[in-house]
Chain A
Amino acid sequence: MNKELLLTAGIHLLVAIVILGFILFVVMYMIWGLRRIMGFMQVRIGPNRLGWQGLLQTPADALKLLQKEDVIPKGADRWLFTIAPIIVFVPAYMVYVVMPFGDGLIAKDLNIGILYVSAITSIAVIGIVIAGWASNNKWSLLGAFRAAAQLVAYEVPMILALCVPVIFAGSLRMGGIIEAQEGGWFTNWFIFRGYGIPALAFLIYMAAGLAEVNHIPFDIMEAESELVAGFNVEYSGMKFALFFLEEFAAAFTICAIAVTLFFGGWHAPFPFLGENLTGIAKMAVSLFWFLAKTAVFVFVLMWIRATWPRVRVDQLMNFGWKVMIPMGLFILLAAGTVVTLGWVKL
């Protein structure tokens, strides 16, 4: 009995370490990819010296950050200042519990998967507010205020948009939502079904998701040109690295959730591309499709980052309250109507 308990704990610990390693790896190469892609779009080259095509640049930067002096400003609330990066990072890590990487590659397929994701990801903003407050710096505090206002404006449309695939699938479970998009062909993905309602939901989800992870058109909480760096002005060394890690891990999460809910999760676009396999081969192929689809969205995020300007605070709030929430309510109503009247084959 005791041995079994120990074994279970060991396996869970192993899974946790594997996921942490996966996050670190993905974030490192997302940062590298961001620098390269943005460089290419700005007709530059980007980092290409250290390692083949600059692949070792980010690990080297991470090592450098580890060695940096850990500055805690005078007048800062030491305790809050120290735990803020942890409060920000841990939720971004915890989301990966329900991340369906592939067929059977899910740490815990919770029956409230989507609810868990949206609940956990909004904890991060508490860490951001704490960081802004504890820094004892006016830029940080302004960034924190903006973060709080932004969260209130964007959490609602995001959850309204998330409800649409849930209604279509009839399940909050990640696995259940992916099963509902089964069938082999990409036409079974939610984005191509339901008279375009999920497509609209997807757009709202992505817009709200960009706001949620402080991505470019909505990164008013760290707006470099106005607030220096927003809530993380005073952070340096490893604490700053944790904020950075969280930002990219959350961006990956947004893309992965979008893939899961609207683009068929780990299903291949065509049946002959690995739908008929079983066992380990199926796992590997489904992992490949999940990562490939997510990579496309990560690229789009970087593309957006290299292109669009930042919106003003009042524009952001107007857009959130006056456009996104009414649209979210509308698509929720439409999805409910369509499903209740049986107009879509489920």
Chain B
Amino acid sequence: MRKNRSLFYEIIYTFISLAKGMAVTFVNMWRKKVTLMYPEKRWELPDNYRGIPTLPTDPATGKDKCLACGSCARVCPEQIITIEHEVGEDKKRRLKEFKIDVSRCMFCGLCTEACPTKGLAMSHHYELTSFTKEEMVYNLEKLHELGGQFPAEPEPENTGEDSDKQDEKAVGGEK
């Protein structure tokens, strides 16, 4: 408002602005609502969305790509990844158990970057609540289940992203 306006101008201006405000709310009433009906409808997650890291399996072999090298466990800032391995008859390291304490994960994604085979990938799984602290520690079976599958013809560069899409379907089907 400029100075030196008369009282009548201000009174009229007040009523005009009140009417303008009413018009704004009335127009907004017909707009598309921003609220999402959450459990029924879901967000469209971007491909590089960071859910918890999981171990997708290869559809050809039915196994994950983990070498049990332990890079992820070493690089993890929270030190929440535990890997147990065993050495088979052919003298190769095989993964025995893979645990992630999700309750302390900060979704930085360093573990997936450190993974030499890109077998560990950030999924689209974000519903992590549970009733007990123990349930928050995800074991190998759970990580396989949440990870879903790699696409049939894996390309080394973008397996992570593709597996994410697979994950979403797997998670959706699970519900």
Q: Which residues of B, 1-58, contact A by the 8 Å Cβ criterion?
A: 18, 21-22, 24-26, 28-29, 31-35, 37
**Which residues does chain B contribute within 8 Å of A308, judged by CB atoms?**
18, 21
Q: How far, in angstroms, from A127 to B171 measured CA to CA in the complex?
A: 57
Contact-residue bracket for chain A: 10 to 19
Task: Compute how far the CA of A41 lies from the CA of B29 in the bound complex, rounded to whole angstroms.
Answer: 4
- 0/1 string, A33-68, CB within 8 A of B gives 1: 000010011111100000000000000000000000
Cβ B34 vs Cβ A43 within 8 A: yes
In the complex, the chain A residue whose C-beta lies closest to that of B31 is: A43
Pairwise interchain contact A45-B35, C-beta atoms closer than 8 A: yes
Known: A45-B35, A45-B37. A303 touches B25 (CB 8 A): yes
Could you tell me the distance between the alpha carbons of A303 and B27 in the complex, rounded to whole angstroms?
Answer: 11
A44-B33 in contact (CB<8A): yes
CB atoms of B34 and A307 under 8 A apart: no
Which A residues lie within 8 Å of B33 (CB)? Answer: 40, 43-45
- Interface bin, chain B: 10 to 19
| Chain B residue at minimal CB-CB distance from A309 | B21
Which residue from chain A places its CB closest to the CB of B33 in the assembled complex? Answer: A45
Q: Are A42 and B28 in contact (CB under 8 A)?
A: yes
**How far does the alpha carbon of A230 sit from the alpha carbon of B34 in the complex, in Å?**
32
Complex Cα distance A42/B33, Å? 9
**8 A Cβ contacts from A297-315 to B:** 303-304, 306-308
Nearest chain B residue, comparing its CB with the CB of A217 = B18
Complex Cα–Cα for A209 and B97 (A): 72
Q: Cβ of A41: which chain B residues have Cβ within 8 Å of it? A: 25-26, 28-29
Which B-chain residue is minimally distant from A305 (CB atoms)?
Answer: B25
When distances are taken between beta carbons in the complex, the residues of chain B under 8 Å from A303 are 22, 25-26
In the assembled complex, how far is the CB of residue B76 from the closest CB belonging to chain A, in whole angstroms? 40
- Which chain A residues (11-53) contact chain B, with CB distance < 8 Å? 37, 40-45
Residues of A within 8 A of B34 (CB): 43-44
Nearest A residue to B26 by beta-carbon distance?
A303
Distance between Cα atoms of A324 and B96 in the complex (Å): 83
Closest chain A residue to B18, Cβ basis: A308
Q: Which residue of B lies closest to A302 (CB)?
A: B25
Residue of B nearest to A40 (CB): B29
List A contacts of B35 (CB < 8 A): 43-45
Q: Which of B22, B28, B37 contacts A43 (CB 8 A)?
A: B28
**Distance between B23 CB and nearest chain A CB, rounded to angstroms:** 9
How far is A43 from B29 in the complex, measured between Cα atoms in Å? Answer: 6
Question: Taking CB as reference atom, which chain B residue is nearest A304?
Answer: B22
Chain A residues with Cβ under 8 A from B37's Cβ? 45
Q: Which residue of A lies closest to B17 (CB)?
A: A308
Q: Mark B130-168, 1 if CB is under 8 A from A, else 0.
A: 000000000000000000000000000000000000000
Cα distance A307–B18 in the bound complex, in angstroms:
8
Q: Min CB distance, A195 to chain B, in Å?
A: 20
B29 contacts A37, C-beta separation under 8 Å: yes
Contact between B24 and A307, CB atoms less than 8 A apart: yes
CB B141 to nearest CB in A, in angstroms, measures 35
Complex formed: what's the CA distance from A207 to B28 in Å? 25
With CB as the reference atom, state the residue of chain A lying closest to B21: A307
Kindly report which residue of chain A lies nearest to residue B19, judged by CB atoms.
A307
C-alpha gap A249/B14 in the complex (Å) = 30
Residue of A nearest to B37 (CB): A45
Q: How far is the CB of A324 from chain B (nearest CB, A)?
A: 13
Additional pairs, 14, CB under 8 Å, beyond known A43-B32, A45-B33: A40-B29, A40-B33, A41-B26, A41-B28, A42-B28, A43-B31, A43-B33, A43-B35, A44-B33, A303-B26, A307-B24, A307-B25, A308-B18, A308-B21
Residue contacts A-B, CB under 8 angstroms, 23 given: A37-B29, A40-B28, A40-B33, A41-B25, A41-B26, A41-B28, A41-B29, A42-B28, A43-B28, A43-B32, A43-B33, A43-B34, A43-B35, A44-B33, A44-B34, A44-B35, A45-B33, A306-B25, A307-B21, A307-B22, A307-B24, A307-B25, A308-B18
Closest 10 CB pairs of A and B: A41-B25, A45-B35, A307-B25, A40-B29, A307-B21, A41-B29, A44-B35, A45-B33, A306-B25, A43-B34
